[in-house]
A and B are shown apart, each in its own frame.
Chain A
């Protein structure tokens, strides 16, 4: 080739590299505020309060995946639908800055001394987006729909503790079994379910959910059950819009696509895969929102940061690795808070390798979890030692102090458990069988995917051989919780604000059955804890339970990743970020007139 052609080619090559930037290895930013402080350094809320809120403007929020369009609180199955439902609907209760349940649509609520009766006095100044007033009828309707035999959603079991519901659900299970066995026809089965439902409505149901008058509702439970209060807080549906509609076809009701609620913003339109448009609800009971319109855009995770910097978006949920891209910008504020969830390494206790507690503890001590938090999460995360992550109201840091990596102790524990010999490659052997298993991990979460080879290397250092296999998420979920074929897997849990874990550690359930870990003491502690409602009484129980989990290790608890939110401070005023996030007070936010 001639020299000229060389130059042309090289010039082209260089010009294409123009888009790449060399990034220096990111480290923790200097002078970063303490992990628990929610406000970034330099954020001065006092300065905002001097300015007066101005009316109008459009706020541009973003999410990374398109909602399905099932904008109904009792039918939705998606976190992205939930984003919209959170703005359009409101429930009896909401969370305050300490994450305790407080009134939203109610004026007050009381719990009877035996913890079985919950009385809610409703606010009188709440209207639905179509102008209709909110009354007790809406509350009764919402919960009765969930308990209806034809209800096409999945929340029924949450309310089993209400008066007579357990019995009704048992009857339905019997009918389902009879139908499956062919003893009765589908029509007969449907008839029996309807009969059971009507019997409950006219009998126990009157006590279970009772509208004393237009603005008072009383719930009665068969036994004290703390998680019930959290479950009563779900967003409520308008009875007048769904009246007469067959419950079995609830998903086909037009209001599912174009919801009407009592939240601060009312639904205008959803352009599929593009954005959701919301308009302020003039009669919102906590105050007329200042921002007139919200456009909730669906954004691509890689492009969203560029859009934030260019001002096309006002709010972007961030990944730890991207924080360095917006750190220097004075117009962009970063708000961090601990996540109510964690990642873990699940183990199948039916596999004889993992049956011994000492082996599980050895595995925990062998893995360098600090390195994962420090390097993969860039410090935006925490170690966890039990099911209650840092930031959870019932998390007790003194219950189980975080354990550091200790390969020597791990080796010692393994030796105690009988793993003393090694084979030619250096891996542990016992009775001719090597310590070898397959770790399955799902695609989709970049940090989690990156931890798999790290875990493999850490365990190799103590002589355990791990084969990695990346699987697509739905397939993995089926293998772990359905077919129970997995020996070890990486997965995460979201944790509700009530410390009761539900069926997660119940070996007879689909979820607890994946590990097969059975502990009489854990079940007893959980039963005790769920029956109390007073936090002061419950804390010691869950502290004990956390210690038990850390000792027994049904799964290897790994880390929890902080939630990081980036907001354009020059466009969004009135922020009061706390444990609920940066935009929890969305009806109080406003946009300065010169930044429209």
Chain B
């Protein structure tokens, strides 16, 4: 197992390199550059040309890639062309909130999706199954932004007004330590719910169908024949096998934890990576885009590695050479 992990980790680096080259080429294929959107007639074209030269935007593509790569190897992610601050600072500020949102919404999905899936599978064909499936599917059918706006309407503005409507913390407050965490947690509730509820159905149906398949297996009949209580049969034998595809799913969801919530972040003004990606894309902020894509590529590769490891841990039948 250890050898397998080491082998995968060594494969990570060339794959990241290849991914970065591909991303670089694709981003530069898009017409325009960071300065093409500035059409203010007061702008001196000579100065804009000078700025373009300063950032080497007209240099040969390989030269630009080489500049970026040599910076990355030194740990320097570069400076954002439009924000004029180091990219690491830009992303670092947003990692915390994004992670909080991603982890919380993923937890909601797990805490609701798995029990719902189990319930639906065990009580298959009854009204419980239909009700659970219907609730989960309606959550899936509602777009996240619409559900977010509904939540705002019910629980925040205009409705009960018990939860804040936007932002990461209360504007103008200067809390620190535990009160800050509590304030942030209060602000986290609505966006995490909006994001999580809409994704429950996916996990729930995975768990339900996997469990249904396992529940029909012969070894469960043997376990019951041995006299084991249903609870033990279910949780100790059936569930462990049913969760294998779930583990794979979770691993592949890793990059989504950080960057997948653009619309929710926009509605709730959550200072996350999703919005940064969208803004950087519109403005062709190459250093930011390259750093973000590198991060996502790394997370994807890491996620699939973790999924494979998890797979091996959960399923003793799996062996790696």
In the complex, what residue of chain B is closest to A274 when comparing beta carbons?
B167
Q: Which of A240-281 contact B (CB under 8 A)?
A: 251-252, 256-257, 271-275, 277
**Judging by beta carbons under 8 Å apart, are B45 and A273 in contact?**
no
- Total B residues in contact with A, Cβ cutoff 8 Å: 60
Nearest Cβ in chain B — how far from A243, in angstroms? 21
In the complex, 28 of the A-B residue pairs with CB atoms within 8 angstroms, ordered by the A residue number, are A5-B130, A8-B130, A69-B83, A69-B84, A152-B51, A156-B46, A158-B42, A256-B84, A257-B85, A271-B171, A277-B171, A299-B166, A300-B266, A300-B267, A300-B269, A302-B267, A303-B152, A303-B157, A303-B166, A307-B165, A307-B166, A310-B158, A473-B37, A473-B282, A474-B284, A477-B38, A496-B42, A502-B42
Q: Which stretch of B66-74, B142-150, B244-252, B307-315 is in the interface?
A: B142-150
**Judging by beta carbons under 8 Å apart, are B46 and A12 in contact?**
no
Q: Which of B127-164 contact A (CB under 8 A)?
A: 127, 130-131, 134-135, 138, 142, 146, 149-150, 152-154, 156-158, 161
Contact A272 to B93, CB < 8 A, known contacts A309-B158, A511-B41? yes
Contact residues in A for B84 (Cβ distance below 8 Å):
68-70, 251-252, 256
Assembly CA distance A169 to B46 (angstroms): 10
In the complex, what residue of chain A is closest to B151 when comparing beta carbons?
A19
Q: List 9 A-B pairs, minimum CB-CB distance, nearest first.
A: A157-B44, A478-B32, A474-B37, A273-B271, A306-B157, A478-B36, A154-B43, A19-B150, A275-B171
* In the assembled complex, A120 has its CB within 8 A of some CB on chain B: no
**Judging by beta carbons under 8 Å apart, are B171 and A77 in contact?**
no
Choose among B54, B135, B157 the residue that contacts A310 (Cβ–Cβ < 8 A).
B157
Contact residues in A for B266 (Cβ distance below 8 Å):
300
* In the assembled complex, B30 has its CB within 8 A of some CB on chain A: yes
Q: Which stretch of A204-212, A213-221, A290-298, A549-557 is in the interface?
A: A290-298
Assembly CA distance A157 to B134 (angstroms): 64
**Judging by beta carbons under 8 Å apart, are A295 and B172 in contact?**
yes
**Judging by beta carbons under 8 Å apart, are A300 and B166 in contact?**
yes
**Judging by beta carbons under 8 Å apart, are A475 and B42 in contact?**
no
* In the assembled complex, A176 has its CB within 8 A of some CB on chain B: yes
**Judging by beta carbons under 8 Å apart, are B44 and A154 in contact?**
yes
* In the assembled complex, B198 has its CB within 8 A of some CB on chain A: no
Contact residues in B for A472 (Cβ distance below 8 Å):
282
Contact residues in A for B94 (Cβ distance below 8 Å):
272-273
* In the assembled complex, B183 has its CB within 8 A of some CB on chain A: no
Contact A12 to B158, CB < 8 A, known contacts A70-B84, A272-B93? no
Contact residues in A for B131 (Cβ distance below 8 Å):
8
Contact A274 to B43, CB < 8 A, known contacts A19-B146, A306-B157? no
**Judging by beta carbons under 8 Å apart, are A154 and B42 in contact?**
yes
* In the assembled complex, B168 has its CB within 8 A of some CB on chain A: yes
Assembly CA distance A48 to B37 (angstroms): 44
Assembly CA distance A271 to B40 (angstroms): 28
Contact A477 to B32, CB < 8 A, known contacts A77-B38, A156-B44? yes
Contact A478 to B31, CB < 8 A, known contacts A155-B44, A274-B269? yes
Contact residues in B for A169 (Cβ distance below 8 Å):
46
Contact residues in B for A454 (Cβ distance below 8 Å):
none
Nearest Cβ in chain A — how far from B94, in angstroms? 8
In the complex, what residue of chain B is closest to A479 when comparing beta carbons?
B31
Nearest Cβ in chain B — how far from A558, in angstroms? 17
Nearest Cβ in chain B — how far from A23, in angstroms? 15
Nearest Cβ in chain A — how far from B156, in angstroms? 8
**Judging by beta carbons under 8 Å apart, are B284 and A12 in contact?**
no
Nearest Cβ in chain A — how far from B167, in angstroms? 5
Contact residues in B for A68 (Cβ distance below 8 Å):
82-84
Choose among B142, B165, B282 the residue that contacts A303 (Cβ–Cβ < 8 A).
B165
Chain B residues within 8 Å of A, Cβ to Cβ = 30-33, 36-48, 50-51, 54, 82-85, 93-94, 127, 130-131, 134-135, 138, 142, 146, 149-150, 152-154, 156-158, 161, 165-169, 171-172, 266-269, 271, 275, 279, 282-284
Contact A309 to B48, CB < 8 A, known contacts A277-B171, A277-B172, A474-B37? no
Contact residues in A for B282 (Cβ distance below 8 Å):
472-474
Contact residues in B for A151 (Cβ distance below 8 Å):
47
Assembly CA distance A312 to B46 (angstroms): 45
Known contacts A154-B47, A157-B42, A306-B152; can you find 17 more A-B pairs with CB under 8 A?
A19-B146, A68-B83, A69-B83, A69-B85, A152-B54, A157-B43, A169-B46, A271-B271, A274-B168, A297-B171, A299-B166, A300-B268, A300-B269, A474-B282, A474-B283, A475-B36, A478-B36
**Judging by beta carbons under 8 Å apart, are A156 and B32 in contact?**
no
Nearest Cβ in chain B — how far from A461, in angstroms? 32
Contact residues in B for A5 (Cβ distance below 8 Å):
127, 130, 134
Contact A273 to B275, CB < 8 A, known contacts A310-B157, A475-B30? yes
In the complex, what residue of chain A is closest to B131 when comparing beta carbons?
A8
Contact residues in B for A181 (Cβ distance below 8 Å):
none
Contact residues in A for B38 (Cβ distance below 8 Å):
77, 154, 477
Mark contacts of A486-498 with chain B using CB atoms, 8 A cut-off: 1 yes-contact digit, 0 otherwise: 0000010110100
**Judging by beta carbons under 8 Å apart, are B267 and A157 in contact?**
no
Q: Which of A7-23 contact B (CB under 8 A)?
A: 8-9, 12-13, 16, 18-19
Choose among B127, B161, B172 the residue that contacts A4 (Cβ–Cβ < 8 A).
B127
Choose among B54, B169, B267, B283 the residue that contacts A274 (Cβ–Cβ < 8 A).
B169
Nearest Cβ in chain A — how far from B91, in angstroms? 11
Nearest Cβ in chain B — how far from A228, in angstroms? 13
Assembly CA distance A173 to B44 (angstroms): 12
Assembly CA distance A295 to B170 (angstroms): 11
**Judging by beta carbons under 8 Å apart, are B32 and A475 in contact?**
yes
**Judging by beta carbons under 8 Å apart, are A60 and B41 in contact?**
no
Contact residues in B for A256 (Cβ distance below 8 Å):
84
Assembly CA distance A325 to B264 (angstroms): 23
* In the assembled complex, A482 has its CB within 8 A of some CB on chain B: yes
Contact residues in A for B167 (Cβ distance below 8 Å):
274-275, 297
Most buried by B among A66, A306, A472: A306
**Judging by beta carbons under 8 Å apart, are A16 and B142 in contact?**
yes
* In the assembled complex, A509 has its CB within 8 A of some CB on chain B: yes
* In the assembled complex, A326 has its CB within 8 A of some CB on chain B: no
Most buried by A among B45, B51, B135: B45
Assembly CA distance A330 to B169 (angstroms): 30
Contact residues in B for A592 (Cβ distance below 8 Å):
none
Contact residues in A for B271 (Cβ distance below 8 Å):
271-274
Contact residues in B for A502 (Cβ distance below 8 Å):
41-42
Nearest Cβ in chain A — how far from B90, in angstroms? 8
Assembly CA distance A297 to B50 (angstroms): 34
Assembly CA distance A585 to B94 (angstroms): 35
Q: Which of A459-484 contact B (CB under 8 A)?
A: 472-475, 477-479, 481-483
* In the assembled complex, A142 has its CB within 8 A of some CB on chain B: no
**Judging by beta carbons under 8 Å apart, are A9 and B134 in contact?**
yes
Assembly CA distance A575 to B130 (angstroms): 59
In the complex, what residue of chain B is closest to A473 when comparing beta carbons?
B37
Assembly CA distance A69 to B279 (angstroms): 14
Contact residues in B for A297 (Cβ distance below 8 Å):
166-167, 171
Mark contacts of A143-180 with chain B using CB atoms, 8 A cut-off: 1 yes-contact digit, 0 otherwise: 00000000111111110000000000100110010000
Contact residues in B for A456 (Cβ distance below 8 Å):
none
Assembly CA distance A509 to B271 (angstroms): 40
Choose among B46, B146, B279 the residue that contacts A173 (Cβ–Cβ < 8 A).
B46
Assembly CA distance A307 to B36 (angstroms): 35
Nearest Cβ in chain B — how far from A47, in angstroms? 28
